[in-house]
Amino acid sequence: MMEINVEVVSKEIIKPSSPTSTHLRTYHLSFLDQISSHVYNPFVLFYQNHKNLNNHNLLHLYSTNIKKSLSNLLSRYHLFAGRLKQTTVDCNDEGIPYFEAKINCKLSDFLQNPDPQQLHKFIAFELNGLGLDLLLGLQFNLFNCGGIAIGICISHKVADAISCLLFIKNLAATTRGCTDDDDDQNKIVWPKFESAKLFPPKEASALGRPGGVVIPTLKIVTRRFVFGSDKIESLRAKYQEEDGATRRPSRVETLSAFITSRFMAALKVGFGDDKRRLVIGHAFNLRKRVDPPLEENSFGNIARPFVKVLSSNNMSDVMSQMRELIVSGDDKEHAKSLQKEGIDPTLNFFEQHADELMKGELVCICFTSICRFPLYVDFGWGKPSWVATNPFPYKNFVVLADSRLGGIEAYIDMEEEDMVKFQNDQELL
């Protein structure tokens, strides 16, 4: 994997094209926002230079269009141009950082074997969000061949993956010149800011540990694993036969179970004299699970992880237990407890088992899937060659995303020593 050098050549602040109305100057965080960490959701979109424009023209034309669109969009996403406070966002129109950077290689060279450890170079902030009150940043990266990488990072404190991707989709559509009067394919769907009404905030004293999970200080490394369609279909058939189920497991169920089983094998969790127990977690979109159901443009953190302690460390049982976890995501009582009572069973679980987790008696691996989400969006110069993300800097965290060529990419964060064992697992290879 090649080492790339990214040189930031300009920095500026993009402000909304029109001022925020007085009645919108304070954005209240919801209960789900309050218990979410202020870390950044990063997305990097890579575009080839199909029009063969030279670097100066590209930088001027494309970057100028994005800045103009971003300014217009901030008038609709008024909180992004504000600053994060303890329980609110001060929508003061101070604007968002916009960086322009040059890359010392060709895009094609980088894409031959992309290194997820270098993705942070394409975005404006460190993922951990420490010391920052900013909610959004964008970095326009230009390769020396004219290829482009658009790096966007949005704070998880105010937005889940669906809200982030809707914003990126709207930014791309606005840059293409689309409006909310266009046909269904190009029509811009604006966000609905209603999460604080749906999930009323709590007093700080009632929240327990703010942010839930503390970002570890151990060295975490990220690796990207690509599972082709044939591999996934083979695993689906295998798990269906072993489980004796009439329904073939989904792609996400299959890969989640497979990665979990290889994780257990590589780290010897529960093997022999090892008394550790494994906790599996999966994040779920709650928009269709609350009452009444919400539209996908409902903005905020309207997703939460569900967790399950494996009742058996027998790897042949992992698929059935993973399926039980994912089926539990449809339990509307869980969503009801969040919405009506302000009770999060997952947060309570981690609070109750904090000592076991700290001592390593419980080992947790958590998944989130953005498969079938609109990742590959067009800013006006064609669809991207690749869209990359990067997990939050948490131990044993997995993001599943569609590959443009079919199959699924898994971005996996682990401690460096564990990753060495995991990536050398023969069944994984």
Which residues are designated catalytic? 156, 378
Q: Would you say the C-alpha torsion 81, 83, 84, 88 has a positive or negative sign? A: negative
Q: Is pLDDT larger for residue 291 or for residue 35?
A: 35
**What DSSP line would sit under 330-399, residue for residue?**
T-HHHHHHHHHS---HHHHHHHHTHHHHHHTSEEEEEEEE-TTS-----SSS---SEEEE---S-TTEEE
Judged by average pLDDT, the poorest of 39-53, 215-229, 343-357 is 215-229
Mean pLDDT in the chain?
89
pLDDT value at residue 270 = 78
- Provide CATH code, domain 6-199: 3.30.559.10
pLDDT value at residue 216 = 45
Indicate the angle between helix axes 251-267 and 416-423, nearest 10 degrees.
110
pLDDT band (50, 70, 90) for residue 286: very high
pTM of the predicted model as reported, rounded to 2 decimal places: 0.93
Residue 414 has pLDDT above 90, yes or no: yes
Please state the rounded mean pLDDT for residues 17-26: 96
- Residue 19: asked if its preceding bond is cis (omega within 30°), the reply is no
Is the CATH code 3.90.550.10 the one for domain 220-424? no
CB atoms within 10 A of CB 358: 9
Please state the rounded mean pLDDT for residues 379-392: 89
CA distance 351 to 362: 13
Residue 158 has pLDDT above 70, yes or no: yes
pLDDT tens, residue by residue, 219-273:
899 999 999 999 999 999 998 888 777 789 999 999 999 999 999 999 998 777 8
Residue 211 has pLDDT above 70, yes or no: no
pLDDT value at residue 53 = 67
CB 145 within 8 A of CB 52: no
Specify the domain boundaries for CATH 3.30.559.10 within the chain: 6-199, 220-424
pLDDT tens, residue by residue, 324-338:
898 887 777 778 788
**Cα separations (Å) of 163 from 36, 205, 257, 305?**
14, 28, 27, 16
301 alpha carbon, distance to own chain's centre: 12
**Cα separations (Å) of 84 from 90, 136, 290, 406?**
6, 11, 27, 39
CA distance 174 to 66: 9
